[in-house]
Amino acid sequence: MIQYDNHRQKLALICSGQLSLQENVEFFLSNIKKQSNLNAFISVFEEQARKQASLVASKIAQGNAGKLAGMVVAVKDVLALEGEKLTCASAILANFTSIYTATAVQKLIDEDAVIIGKTNCDEFAMGSSNENSAFGAVKNPVNAEYVPGGSSGGSAVAVAAYMCDVALGTDTGGSIRQPASFCGVVGLKPTYSRVSRYGLTAFASSFDTIGPFARSIDDVAAVMEVIAGYDDRDATSSKIAVENYITELSLTSDVLRIGVPKEYFGEGLQPEVRSAITSILDKLREAGHQIQEVSLPSTRNAIATYYILTMAEVSSNLERFDGARYGERAENSANLNDMYCNSRTEKLGKEVKRRILLGTYVLSAGYYDAYYRKAQQVRRLIKEDFSRVFSQVDVLVTPTAPTTAFRIGEKSTDPLEMYLSDIYTTSANLAGIPGMSIPVGSDNNGLPIGLQIMANEFQELELLKLGSVIEKIMR
Amino acid sequence: MSVTKDEAAYIAKLANLNFSEDELVSYTHDLNEMLEYVSQLQAVDTSSVEPLTHPISSEPWMRRDELRPSVSRETALKNAPQTDNEYFIVPKVIKQ
């Protein structure tokens, strides 16, 4: 039913009358219904999507439609869309309605994308399996007994299972790349500050990024071109000009210097994942690209550093959910402080509370220097590792995750083991650099394998260049 | 270094969270497991390393401190659990 590989082709089909946008939206809506067991969506905007499709179809016919005209997009439910529910997959925001729209979402709407719904995720984006949602776990479309990855599991599933063209997710420690890897789609985490965070519910403010999931590199590039850039409502958003990714991609056939960090191929790496990555590296070498081993010695400290810093930021950012001004409030509290405690205790989930507790501990008097400040210092060492390596190579290639998708329930009782599944992805967030996961085959159970590409800050184009090369190898 | 159940209860209080006895035991265990794991950082020599607070070289900027239109009172109160249409209403703060 999908006759196109990317948005450019879709738009050409619509223009030539071979594809009806309205029928295309119906196809996605019916796929969402048929596969409701996967639990990918929290809200579906059936009527609005139909209305928007007719509107955009006539704009296309008149020749005055935007760059993303008719692209059907799902949005992770941590991003605001005015007038719609914003739950963050938490019971404390079960009835919260956004009073404004996130910049990234608004930019898609301004270019005539059709927003089809809001996707399920781990509560406040905290998790690596999408099992921590107040709206129930999301399931992997390849095999529903397996997790889709997290935290942007719903967005990855929506793209993999043809419920939309493209989806927005967020990535704080791997939450776009790891579910992209587990579901067999492309997912890009931009440089920190490349996409405005205005309208994104804060998890860890010095790590959070917004980026696309798609079935092609072209669509990832098309979305990035639209959502990236300066925004006067996010004081951390970068003023560095956004490149014309699509045009640049069509021009290029560079020889790339590819680094392979040895720390990402150690013990715990599933043999099938290792051989899939190695085989791609062999083909890249045959194609004339330069491959060299490099070292990022601080990698071993990434998870510890990541969890100290993000949990500290969590304990601070989530203090606002107290039942006073918005969100759910516990009944029958004797005084204000009881109301705060009861609302938070009743309405926040177990993993969120665990992180708040650890974050409060590392920031508390007497421990700040030993944990928080120490982790900030190690963060600099991790950043310096990358800066050094990127003076020698253009990009790094690694596995996205040490394994393919695991079974639902397999790691949910052991928080530390769950945290370790982010071992290859947290470093990019610590260093603020961009990373992308791209599908490179599947294991013996048919579960997808993802290859991660990382580049220096603001070098998204390098990710897309190598991504295109690998996409061609895979086809 | 290990955290006792009483210390975990004190931290929970700082975070405005209540835990049952059972939950407290389980969270204390998780807290200790995490603290043990992150203690590996103590072995890293950071004596001459400045803390990193902003991960990229493009620095955040300041906006001019001037008045801008914001949300209306009506809109701001839309998601409030309890209001009198002018203020947020919360349980009594001051002891009688």
List, for residues B70-79, the tens digit of each pLDDT value.
899 999 999 9
Cβ neighbours, 10 Å, residue A287: 12
Say which CATH topology domain A7-249 has.
Answer: Amidase signature (AS) enzymes (3.90.1300)
Cα A60–A63–A69 angle (5° rounding)? 35
Q: Do A325 and B17 touch (CB under 8 A)?
A: no
Under 8 Å between Cβ of A200 and A210: yes
Q: Do B58 and A458 touch (CB under 8 A)?
A: yes
Contacts of B38 in chain A (CB under 8 A): 304, 307-308, 371, 375
Concerning whether A175 is annotated as a catalytic residue, the answer is yes
Length of chain B in terms of residues written: 96
| Å between A449 CA and nearest CA of chain B | 28
Q: Which of A260, A252, A261, A296 is nearest to A281 (CA)?
A: A260
Q: How far is CA A245 from the centre of its chain?
A: 19
* C-alpha distance from residue B31 to each of A358, B12, B28, B44 (Å): 6, 12, 5, 22
B95, pLDDT greater than 90 = no
Pick the catalytic residue from A10, A43, A67, A76. A76
Question: What pLDDT score was predicted for residue B1?
Answer: 60
Question: What pLDDT score was predicted for residue A267?
Answer: 87
Q: Which of A103, A115, A18 is nearest to A68 (CA)?
A: A115
The DSSP output letter for A201 is P
Q: How far is CA A277 from the centre of its chain?
A: 21
Query: Which candidate from B75, B76, B88 shows the least CB-CB separation from A324?
Result: B88
What residue type is assigned to position A188 of the chain?
L
Q: Do B81 and A315 touch (CB under 8 A)?
A: no
* Residue B50: closest C-alpha in chain A: A377
Contacts of B19 in chain A (CB under 8 A): 345
Q: How many CB pairs under 8 A join A and B?
A: 166
Question: What pLDDT score was predicted for residue A350?
Answer: 96
Distance CA A374, CA A368 (A): 8
Distance CA A431, CA A297 (A): 14
Q: Do B38 and A371 touch (CB under 8 A)?
A: yes
Concerning whether A76 is annotated as a catalytic residue, the answer is yes
Distance CA B85, CA A89 (A): 28
| Å between B44 CA and nearest CA of chain A | 8
Q: Do B37 and A304 touch (CB under 8 A)?
A: yes
Distance CA A459, CA A466 (A): 12
Contacts of B94 in chain A (CB under 8 A): none
Distance linking the first and last C-alpha atoms of chain B: 43
Report the run of H or E that residue A168 belongs to, with start and end: strand A166-171
| Å between B65 CA and nearest CA of chain A | 13
Pick the catalytic residue from A175, A193, A343, A468. A175
Dig out the tokens for A60 from the structure: 């296309």
Distance CA A312, CA A205 (A): 10
* Residue A457: closest C-alpha in chain B: B56
Pick the catalytic residue from A90, A129, A151, A216. A151
Contacts of A236 in chain B (CB under 8 A): 54, 60
pLDDT in tens, chain A (475 residues): 789 999 999 999 999 999 999 999 999 999 999 999 999 999 999 999 999 999 999 999 999 999 999 999 999 999 999 999 999 999 999 999 999 999 999 999 999 999 999 999 999 999 999 999 999 999 999 999 999 999 999 999 999 999 999 999 999 999 999 999 999 999 999 999 999 999 999 999 999 999 999 999 999 999 999 999 999 999 999 999 999 999 999 886 789 999 999 999 998 999 999 999 999 999 999 999 999 999 999 999 999 999 999 999 999 999 999 999 999 999 989 999 999 999 999 999 999 999 999 999 999 988 999 999 999 999 999 999 999 999 999 999 999 999 999 999 999 888 888 888 899 999 999 999 999 999 999 999 999 999 999 999 999 999 999 999 999 999 8
The DSSP output letter for A265 is G
Prediction ipTM score = 0.95
CB-based contacts of A455: which residues, under 8 Å, 6+ apart? Answer: A390, A394, A395, A396, A433, A434, A435, A462, A463
Contacts of A379 in chain B (CB under 8 A): 51-52, 55
Question: What pLDDT score was predicted for residue A53?
Answer: 98
Extents of the domains making up chain A: 7-249
| Å between A5 CA and nearest CA of chain B | 34
Distance CA A307, CA A172 (A): 11
* Residue A363: closest C-alpha in chain B: B11
CB-based contacts of A309: which residues, under 8 Å, 6+ apart? Answer: A204, A206, A207, A372, A375, A376, A379, A430
Between β-strands A166-171 and A186-189, what pairing exists: parallel, antiparallel or unpaired?
Answer: unpaired
Concerning whether A20 is annotated as a catalytic residue, the answer is no
Q: Do B54 and A206 touch (CB under 8 A)?
A: yes
Query: Which candidate from A236, A307, A430 shows the least CB-CB separation from B60?
Result: A236
Distance CA A458, CA A454 (A): 11
B96, pLDDT greater than 70 = no
* Residue A325: closest C-alpha in chain B: B80
